Amino acid sequence: MHLLIRAGGYPFRLLRYMFTFYCKLFCRRPQIIFAYTSVGLMDCLLLCLKPKKKKPTGDEPNPTLFPDRQTTNVKENKRSSIPDREPTEGRQNQESIPDQEPTEDGEKQQSIPDRETTDVKENPRSIPNREPTDKEENAGHNEPYWVERTDLLYCEYDTTWETLKDSQGDRRPRGSTQRVYDYEFNRFENAAKDMYNYRHDYPLPMGRSYHRGKQGTDMPNLTFYLGERESEPDGFSIGEFHKTWRGDYYRLERVHSFVQWIFPLQEVGMNDEAFVLTKQEIKAFLKNETAKLNLQQSYGLMLDFYGIELSNLETGAVGRASNWPERFENMNRHTHNNLRLTRILKCLGNLGFRHYQAPLVRFFLEETLVQGKLPAVKESVLNYFLFAVLDKAQRRELVRFAFWNYEPREKFIWCPKKIQEAFLREGGPARCSNPADPSPEELRQVEEENNDFIQTEL
């Protein structure tokens, strides 16, 4: 019958109205009117025969018609209707953070993000943007430089800054702000991977493998620096190199097979007849004063080729040499010397002269960013030289110096934006002075003389 009623027509509509009137008058079950259009007449009649329940109070929800939609637990309904309520005292949170670090007791503390808790101890590791404690600062390098993977300009191969262990997710998606840095930042990331490999003793594959089998017992690089072996294919000893190659700028510029012998690395270079430096050689090299003294002389020879003078053998301080104008011009014309300088910095770090790294990088930062004399070296200084420094504290100071002297500063991409904001809060460091520039005392004296001259004229 209910099919006929739903089919339409005035007679059947009259029956439908009569049925509705019956429900209101005798059953007083108004919800049957709504059920009629969905479940049919027979279901409505069966519902009329059910015992009538009490009216719901203000604290209980209204029961729904269908059992599958009915809420059986009143407390659950309340909980779902109040998503941001505050938990009561003593209530333990049943939620957990999947990648949260364990505490010292080995148990994971539980906390609800974005909610206030009462009488519940906070787990400091669950707050990624917090300030580090004194103990954590002293455990690192005494500087609260914390970054997250989602920070703008974050590079996973740049370990200059402390990455929070609770930091989750991939690097921030490339928005309109990030795309401005895409080209330069991608070049920086490629260079950072190479420098990360160097600083962490080459955990990543390096492509071409070692091409000779003598590196275990022969130690060719050490014997060369002890004067017991000649280079290949040029055929010179280390003593001959120091005597005959010094000042021969044409040969130092045109010959490309000597630098792999003079500054050996744990990497394959362009000279297939040179040997890759082994860990056994490094240990023996560090114990041999003759080899280290010869390496120091080789370093001074190459600095002279670049127009730089090693002014202090103990600290590694450098400055401009007397021939710096012509040698700087040569570096701007022949950019393959940037690769050589990167190799030199890496070799110094491996073979006992890591304290020579930061003074040389600081010199190039001054000449490129402040003085503007080496524009062709600028990109290599920021991408490679800077991150070849093994000492993390010195590397941070060099990045800070580069940030304050880079123009335009808003396009600086060699540290996360969060670190740049910290630099701005701390204030800029004083620029380092170049030996060729007048000292502050000389500038003050000239200013006083000018003031005296102006007063006498007046």
d(CA 83, CA 63): 22
Rg (CA), the chain: 38
Taking 80 as the threshold, does the pLDDT of residue 65 lie above it? no
The pLDDT value recorded for residue 132 is 37
Type of residue numbered 167? S
Cβ–Cβ < 8 Å for 234, 173? no
3-class secondary-structure state, position 294: helix
In the chain, pLDDT over 90 holds for what percent of residues? 50
**pLDDT tier for residue 30 given thresholds of 50, 70 and 90:** very low
Cβ–Cβ < 8 Å for 208, 403? no
d(CA 259, CA 344): 9
What Å distances lie between residue 292 and 101, 104, 250, 254, 350, CA to CA? 45, 45, 27, 26, 11
The structure tokens 């000292």 sit at 439
The pLDDT value recorded for residue 163 is 82
Q: What average pLDDT score do residues 98-116 get? A: 39
The pLDDT value recorded for residue 447 is 52
DSSP annotation string for 199-224: HTT--S--SSPP--S-TTTT-HHHHH
CA angle 252, 256, 274 (to 5 degrees): 120
Name the token pair of 247: 């000042």
The pLDDT value recorded for residue 427 is 82
* C-alpha distance across the termini of the chain, in Å: 119
Query: What are residue 309's DSSP bridge partners?
Result: 319
Comparing CA positions, the residue from 429, 350, 349, 351 lying closest to residue 389 is 349
The structure tokens 């580090």 sit at 132
**pLDDT tier for residue 435 given thresholds of 50, 70 and 90:** very low
Type of residue numbered 381? V
163-172, 397-406, 411-420 — which is least confidently predicted? 163-172
Taking 90 as the threshold, does the pLDDT of residue 49 lie above it? no
Taking 90 as the threshold, does the pLDDT of residue 37 lie above it? no
Query: What are residue 147's DSSP bridge partners?
Result: 163
d(CA 152, CA 185): 11
d(CA 353, CA 295): 9
d(CA 263, CA 275): 11
Cβ–Cβ < 8 Å for 358, 389? yes
The structure tokens 């297939």 sit at 272
The structure tokens 């590397």 sit at 395
Q: What pTM does this model have?
A: 0.63
d(CA 458, CA 449): 14
List Cβ neighbours of 417 (8 Å cut-off, separation of 6 or more).
151, 152, 153
Strands 162-163 and 308-310: unpaired
The pLDDT value recorded for residue 45 is 52
Who has greater pLDDT, 238 or 205?
A: 238
